[in-house]
A and B are shown apart, each in its own frame.
Chain A
């Protein structure tokens, strides 16, 4: 099957000479972007820099002295704080399961919505509704669902003859129960993103493939997946960042328990920083999380880089 794809022009390594008009354009862009870039630096780079600096100190906001301790906060986190290692492990588990699951569910739903001839708008609104709810309120919805005695989920499992489980009170299920609640609220966002991606694929590709005798799966495999590559990058990166920073659902549903089985990194950092006044140590843990997310994001962007357009 021949698709009318053309390679994107690759930027040459040699600096091309710019015309006076181009130079003026670049200057204009630089000038008009400087306020927003300055603001960006103020609210983003400066705090990150400050967090990195604080992570090298024994810093409590209430104490007048903050001795410089080098990398001791980092060493302590990895060698002497099992709760940090546990929280990091839970965060990784959560992300590794939630991101593919999210994509695996949201893409087919988006394709279904895209295929709808009538009522698509109504379904889009219905599907998007959970995203518009407050995070805390949406998380609280799951408390009665997971209730060990009167919970709806146990009512269903009981009806099916399955064992009754204390979903949030059992260390074996608590993290996954939180994940399901978080997933429920996050799915619609990615459904809409995928839907937008699907709608931007020109129908002529599918028409040409049909003429060539391509099956539905072949069209999905050879047209939909490649042409959604940019959408995939967007969804993977944003979902990964969102799940690595999981906070609200954990706090509302389990507060990290039982036995820290559902404690992810952000609630742990928050507790050490804001409840325990160990802001230097909390900053070190935040920098570790930042570094992990940065590495994964850059890797994802590089691996999924697209060198052609349609």
Chain B
């Protein structure tokens, strides 16, 4: 094939550059330059992290009332960001020598960034963490224990489940901003109840099942087009099961307090009742809709949907014309809705931060956990307050009337316990439930399988 003129010229040029008569210093010079460039590049890469991190114990502006600049990583939930910025503004006004630089991340990004940043010692001085994430960090000595000035009466002031995740070996490693509540309340569509001729929301478990059956609709092919009681979301299945066991005054933890035990009659009965809702009562189906139960509810594909109160602002925001109520879920057994809860969002401090920064961080946390400030934060973020003193708070109820349902169950909450990997714990029940619904396993076999999976996960959590 005939080659072009340009190509031939280019080749000639290359030949000329490699002519042996040309002095050798050029390549050597290039080699030196190249090595220098690479060395500088590598040095810069290696130095980046180090330059970013302040060695533990190094105080900025030590020895004077110098300004302290704190860094704070938080969730980028818009309501959280608004509430956090409001706190910063008021704290900085009252403490002119402290400035706080807030950086917000999506929750999943924050979770991974924290892991990488703690490992590389480039983490912020103070972070907003979800309670279930805290034990890993606390166990490995990465978090600063809460100073004694803040722990006085802390167990009396805060609801127990809110502190469980922040406690490791008897020490407290952070303070919660909220009571993370997934239980005790459900979305209900008043129009559907009226159309079905149901005069009031259910007060007992049997009424709940009966109402749900009336409210469930199928098309001519027998396919479910509206769930009576949607609860087959990732969170709801496990939370409901644990609550149903606790409502029988039984525990799902084995005697050692480390492993789980779902072989008790209470666990077996609760599991059977829960799976019966889809296999016998047919009031929900995992294949009836896509997304979470609250998605189905607001799309009109469910008449009731079990969820924590955090879905209320979502519904009001995205479906402003949708009329709904948030009402109590009747207990499975007994008269009170006993339930298990994880610890929610709260503040922790990097143990390796400089002493003056740690002191300033705890000062800020103390400020943000004053009753008035927590009330304000919880109203802005639509969170359930972690302080016992704020239950049935008139200001909160005025701003968020639906919170009344959640307030009523708070005294019956218990910390969920050392679940280790929360996602795998919940996934085990999701899988077990699905296999029962699809007829692949019997309810008892699926429960036994979930127990085995969870105990294996607990044993091997730190690696095989």
Contacts and interface: CB of A to CB of B under 8 A. Distances in A.
B314 interface: no
B301 A60 contact: no
Interface stretch (B10-18, B89-97, B154-162): B10-18
B423 A275 contact: yes
A59 B19 CA distance: 54
A130 interface: no
B286 A31 contact: no
A127 B104 CA distance: 38
Contacts of B424: 276
B216 interface: no
B31 interface: yes
Interface in A14-58: 20-22, 24-25, 27-28, 31-32, 34-35, 38-39, 42, 58
Given A34-B34, A38-B38, A62-B140, 6 more contacts: A24-B20, A42-B42, A58-B462, A169-B286, A257-B430, A260-B431
B435 interface: yes
Given A62-B118, A149-B289, A35 B18 contact: no
B290 A143 contact: yes
17 contacts: A21-B15, A24-B20, A25-B14, A28-B27, A34-B31, A35-B34, A39-B38, A61-B118, A143-B290, A148-B288, A164-B223, A170-B287, A258-B286, A259-B435, A275-B421, A276-B461, A281-B463
A149 B289 CA distance: 6
B136 interface: yes
Interface in B9-42: 14-15, 17-20, 22, 27, 30-31, 34-35, 37-38, 41-42
A60 B290 contact: no
Interface string B286-319: 1111100000000001000000000000000000
A234 to B, nearest CB: 22
B116 A61 contact: yes
Contacts of B290: 143, 146-148, 168-169
A171 B438 contact: yes
A43 to B, nearest CB: 10
A34 B225 CA distance: 64
Interface residues on B, range: 35 or more
Interface in B398-453: 421, 423-424, 430-431, 434-435, 438, 440
Interface stretch (A72-80, A90-98, A191-199): A72-80
A61 B45 CA distance: 20
A34 B38 CA distance: 9
Nearest to B290: A147
Contacts of A164: 221, 223
A305 to B, nearest CB: 22
Interface in B82-141: 111-112, 115-116, 118-119, 136-137, 140-141
B430 A62 contact: no
A259 B45 CA distance: 43
Given A148-B289, A280-B463, A21 B20 contact: yes
A34 B41 CA distance: 13
A34 to B, nearest CB: 5
Contact of A31 (B22, B30, B118, B141): B30
B464 A28 contact: no
Interface in A248-282: 257-260, 271, 274-278, 280-281
A164 B221 CA distance: 9
B365 interface: no
B149 to A, nearest CB: 27
B142 interface: yes
A64 interface: yes
A140 B271 CA distance: 34
Contacts of B440: 259
A168 B142 CA distance: 41
A24 B18 contact: yes
Given A62-B136, A258-B434, A275-B423, A28 B17 contact: yes
A80 B464 contact: yes
Contacts of A59: 463
B299 to A, nearest CB: 8
